[in-house]
Homo-oligomer: A and B are copies of this chain.
Amino acid sequence: MARAGLTAERLAQGGADLADEIGFEQVTVAGLARRFKVKPASLYFHVKSSADLKARVALVALAELADRASEAVAGRSREAALAALGNSYRNYAHEHPGRFAAMQLRLDSETAARSDGPRHTRLMRAILREYELGEADQTHAVRLLGSTFQGYVNLELSGSFSHSEPSSNVSWEHIIHGLHILLQNWQVRQPGAANDRE
């Protein structure tokens, strides 16, 4: 009986493909075993548990998207960079919904620190540097961008925008532009009056 040649990496990759096909929530040890024509018990030689498997899928997605995003942003600045980054997220999510869902899995802080998550943050900060925000405002902006990108794509994927006009593509472009405008004006408020709530 020829061996399947399983490794943790191949399982994570296969799990990611499976997630894109049937949804991340539906990924299961048994299902992945079927895909590799192997018995479920065999997977436990390479991954600790079902949760471990899912975390590995998340790491794959995090790394892939970080690569894509870096490439897309390279050589662009300001609004073009912002759009490139946003589009990386959105396109990746459309092409790989299961992987994108996996990315939102809550990782324990140690795994999160070793992951490519920080790369995403650094990439955003690199773009924001051009808007010349203060230190704290840069962090706020990172959080804003992350929230809006993630939130928009989630709502879009869950179908929330598909039952009304105008098309989601149009809204997306307006929102990217809006964020750019907001970032441009952000610093202006800084030297002026009190920065807290009115």
Residues of A within 8 A of B (CB): 25, 79, 83, 104, 106, 109, 136-137, 139-140, 143-144, 146-152, 154-155, 158-161, 163-166, 168, 170-171, 173-175, 177-179, 181-182, 185-186, 189, 196-198
A174–B142 Cα gap in the complex (Å)? 12
A175 surroundings in chain B (CB, below 8 A): 140, 143-144, 147
The dominant DSSP class at the A interface is helix
A79 surroundings in chain B (CB, below 8 A): 198
A144 surroundings in chain B (CB, below 8 A): 148, 152, 171, 175, 178
A109–B158 Cα gap in the complex (Å)? 11
A128–B170 Cα gap in the complex (Å)? 19
CB pair A146 B140 closer than 8 Å: no
A178–B178 Cα gap in the complex (Å)? 11
A174 surroundings in chain B (CB, below 8 A): 137, 140
Nearest-neighbor residue (CB-CB) of A157 within chain B = B106
Instruction: Name A163's contact: one of B109, B164, B168, B177 (CB within 8 Å).
Output: B109
Query: A163: shortest Cβ distance to chain B, in Å?
Result: 7
- Chain B CB within 10 Å, residue with most, of A160, A161, A181: A160
